[in-house]
Amino acid sequence: MDEIVPAALEDYAAASTTPEPALLQQVARETEALGDRARMLTGRLEGRLLNFLVGLLQPAQILEIGCFTGYSALSMAEALPEGGRLYTCEISREHADIAQRNFDASPFGDRIQLCFGPALDTIADLDGPFGFVFVDADKANYPAYYEAVLPKLAEGGLIAFDNVLWSGRVLDDADQTADTKAIRALNAQLARDERVEVVMLTVRDGLTLVRRRASH
């Protein structure tokens, strides 16, 4: 995967960010054992950004689409207000089992409910409203996730879409894979969608923040 920000600057930005708790450092180290898949983990910089946003928004409920080993879920759960809940969707039994072990080891694990199965089915079963939604799963479904979660977004809530720059492949016209096309389509739709206000951040692989306009 090409880096959006040069690796040395990415490392510098992470090192200049508040360290994550020891358990999350351990989760990140253990996830490395999964090999290539470990690149899916958000890591210190983006994990602390998610934690920061949740700390500001104080949502009663969070929805995460794409749990993996639980790093980002734990980053967000730590900043939930008293009584807050986080629902995280995961389709891989192996990933769900690792994540649940990590949740069980965390003082914040009891705030998290792991929803096993295809995320679109889980979302249909959940009422919301969600004050924060983090989308970080199969890219081909990003447009569908957007339409499924927007009606369940709380007043003043935010959706964050990860990997919206897709290692720069969004600019490569020769790339017509389903994932790249879906990300391009979502990015174009969001920028012209009058229901929402949007800002795309060039953090890591690109993170788009979306909030609904008051009139919608």
Ligand X SMILES: C[S@@+](CC[C@H](N)C(=O)[O-])C[C@H]1O[C@@H](n2cnc3c(N)ncnc32)[C@H](O)[C@@H]1O
Question: Can you give the binding site for ligand X, defined by CB under 6 A?
Answer: 40-42, 66-69, 71-72, 89-92, 95, 118-119, 136-138, 141
Considering the complex, state which of residue 115 and residue 190 has its C-beta at the smaller distance from ligand X. Answer: 115
Strand partners, 198: 210
Report in angstroms how near the CB of residue 57 gets to ligand X at its nearest: 18
Considering the complex, state which of residue 59 and residue 66 has its C-beta at the smaller distance from ligand X. Answer: 66
Considering the complex, state which of residue 55 and residue 156 has its C-beta at the smaller distance from ligand X. Answer: 55
Report in angstroms how near the CB of residue 67 gets to ligand X at its nearest: 6
Contact 133, 153 (CB under 8 A): yes
Considering the complex, state which of residue 67 and residue 164 has its C-beta at the smaller distance from ligand X. Answer: 67
Report in angstroms how near the CB of residue 136 gets to ligand X at its nearest: 4
Alpha helices in 93-172 (DSSP H): 93-104, 119-125, 142-149
Q: What is the DSSP string of 57-92?
A: H--SEEEEE--TTSHHHHHHHTTPPTT-EEEEEE--
| Contact residues for 16 (Cβ-Cβ < 8 A; gap 6+) | none
Report in angstroms how near the CB of residue 115 gets to ligand X at its nearest: 8
Whose CA is closest to 133, among 117, 115, 118, 148? 148
